[in-house]
Amino acid sequence: MGGVESTFQFIHYKIDIIEFHIKPDLNVVQYFPNPQDRISYTINLRVPMYYVQQKQYLSGVEVIFRLFHKEEKPENELCSGRFGIMGVFAIPGEAPEQSVIDKMVKTHFPSLLLPYLRAAITSTLAHAGFGSVVMPLINMYALSDEALKNLQIQRIE
């Protein structure tokens, strides 16, 4: 029986930042989810690192969000948060070309981490009483091309 062999291994991840703030207001506490609510996101990719002795890469993503009642105005903000995740990846065996490694580290690794972070954000909002807020899908290729195009993978000796 044939199989597919991956060029890399996803070793493990940790959510390393959870900051969540709710506006201390009676109306916010009595809030019921509304389909007209708006959520804004800022997604930042961390500078990837390569640990030479371990032959492993550390990649990470941070998301900052704000949930608004109907319109994106400061007075309508219900809650805000900052969440971060980091993951460890390895490329076992013979390393591919540097251009392939760059694409994997700068695009594919953050793409694999983002669903775990999305789940943590969605779960936090639901458990905090804000209902089922689903973070939209993100074009990680476009994001990484823009955010990391001039950055080098940081080598840790």
Is 32 within the bounds of a domain?
A: yes
Q: Residue 56: which domain range?
A: 9-156
Q: What helix, strand, coil percent values describe the chain, rounded to 5?
A: 30, 35, 35
Residue 77: strand pairing partners? 68
**Which residue stretches of the chain have pLDDT < 50?**
none
- At 71 the pLDDT is 84
Q: Determine, yes or no, domain membership for 114.
A: yes
Determine contact, residues 83/19, Cβ cutoff 8 Å.
yes
CATH of the domain at 106: 3.10.420.10
Instruction: Report the predicted TM-score, pTM, of the whole model to 2 decimal places.
Output: 0.88
- Phi then psi for residue 154, to 5 deg, are -75, 125
Looking at the domain assignment, is residue 14 inside a domain?
yes
Within a domain: 1:
no
State the total domains in the chain.
Answer: 1
Residue 3 belongs to a domain: no
